[in-house]
């Protein structure tokens, strides 16, 4: 899952970025509204953390432009104070949730997890696919109830497929959602991660669709 953080306070942006990375997200950071708007409309993010008071273009305008262009990724806004009018305008412009500064990092992470989960149509933080279970809070994976150890990138691939169950996801799409903008992307590495996931989770959990990509499918025998 890849998250964009648009926040002009450099130290705060760094802290949020670090917390998100530790939680297993891929993170891009932008320090002004112009750059943030550009990234949000050209890169495929799974969620955005958007400050409202930003240089060049303010956060509400950025959000408004994204929504008018049809970008529907979940957006969590950061408001500087308990200002109800800012929150109302934020929701009216298409924000999905907000936190008020100063905020608790755990709360920000919990809200973001919930947003990403809901946009994937999942109601709970534990996701199942047959014998595989992913706890999105802890990032822990189990197979038939037994813990499985995954590397950060393997977890990112599995998590993305879990959030898009029963849909074929191309290698390019996976690449775009697990690497940040500065990474020298090579979609061949995806194949390597899929191979390792199959070794750890069993050969049938991830399906290959020739020339199209991969999918995780909910088991057909359980109706």
Question: What would the x/- binding string for Ca ion be over residues 68 to 107, using CB under 5 A?
Answer: ----------------------------------------
Minimum CB separation of residue 117 from Ca ion in Å reads 27
Counting residues that bind Ca ion (by CB under 5 A) gives 3
With respect to Ca ion, which residue has the nearer C-beta, 53 or 94?
Answer: 53
With respect to Ca ion, which residue has the nearer C-beta, 10 or 152?
Answer: 10
Minimum CB separation of residue 16 from Ca ion in Å reads 12
With respect to Ca ion, which residue has the nearer C-beta, 3 or 197?
Answer: 3
CA-based angle 15:120:27, to the nearest 5? 25
With respect to Ca ion, which residue has the nearer C-beta, 51 or 154?
Answer: 51
- Is residue 213 within 8 A of residue 170, CB to CB? The reply is yes
With respect to Ca ion, which residue has the nearer C-beta, 80 or 192?
Answer: 80
**Which of 117, 195, 213 is CA-nearest to residue 154?**
195
DSSP string, 73-114: --EEEEESS--HHHHHHHHHTT--EEEESS--HHHHHHHHHH
Omega before 102 within 30 of 0, i.e. cis: yes
Residues in region 30-59 near Ca ion by CB under 5 A: 51, 53
What is the spatial distance between Cα 209 and Cα 214, in angstroms, rounded to a whole number?
6
Strand 75-79 vs strand 47-51: parallel, antiparallel, or unpaired? parallel
Going 215 to 2 to 77 to 140, the CA torsion angle's sign is: positive
Residue 8 interacting with Ca ion (CB under 5 A)? yes
Minimum CB separation of residue 126 from Ca ion in Å reads 35
What is the spatial distance between Cα 63 and Cα 47, in angstroms, rounded to a whole number?
12
Which of these ranges, 5-13, 38-46, 107-115, 194-202, lies near Ca ion under the rule CB under 5 A? 5-13
Residue 176 interacting with Ca ion (CB under 5 A)? no
Which of these ranges, 6-14, 133-141, 173-181, 213-221, lies near Ca ion under the rule CB under 5 A? 6-14
Residues found near Ca ion in the complex (CB under 5 A):
8, 51, 53
């Amino acid at each position: 899952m890849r998250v964009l953080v648009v926040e002009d306070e450099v130290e705060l942006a760094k802290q949020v970025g670090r917390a998100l990375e530790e939680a297993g997200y891929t993170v891009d950071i932008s320090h002004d509204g112009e750059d943030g708007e550009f990234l949000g409309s050209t890169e495929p993010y799974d969620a955005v953390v958007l400050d409202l008071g930003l240089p060049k273009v303010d956060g509400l305008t950025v959000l408004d432009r994204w929504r008018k262009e049809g970008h529907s990724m979940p957006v969590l806004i950061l408001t500087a104070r308990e200002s109800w009018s800012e929150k109302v305008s934020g929701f009216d412009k298409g924000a999905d949730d907000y936190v008020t500064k100063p905020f608790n990092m755990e709360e920000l992470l919990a809200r973001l997890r919930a947003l990403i989960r809901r946009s994937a149509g999942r109601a709970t933080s534990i996701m199942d696919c047959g014998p595989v279970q992913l706890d999105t809070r802890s990032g822990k994976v189990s197979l038939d109830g037994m813990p499985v150890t995954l590397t950060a990138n393997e977890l990112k691939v599995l998590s993305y497929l879990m959030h898009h169950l029963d849909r074929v996801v191309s290698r390019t799409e996976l690449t775009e959602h697990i690497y940040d903008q500065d990474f020298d992307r090579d979609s061949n590495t995806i194949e390597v991660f899929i191979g390792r996931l199959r070794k750890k989770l069993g050969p049938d959990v991830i399906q290959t669709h020739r020339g199209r990509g991969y999918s995780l499918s909910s088991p057909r025998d359980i109706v």
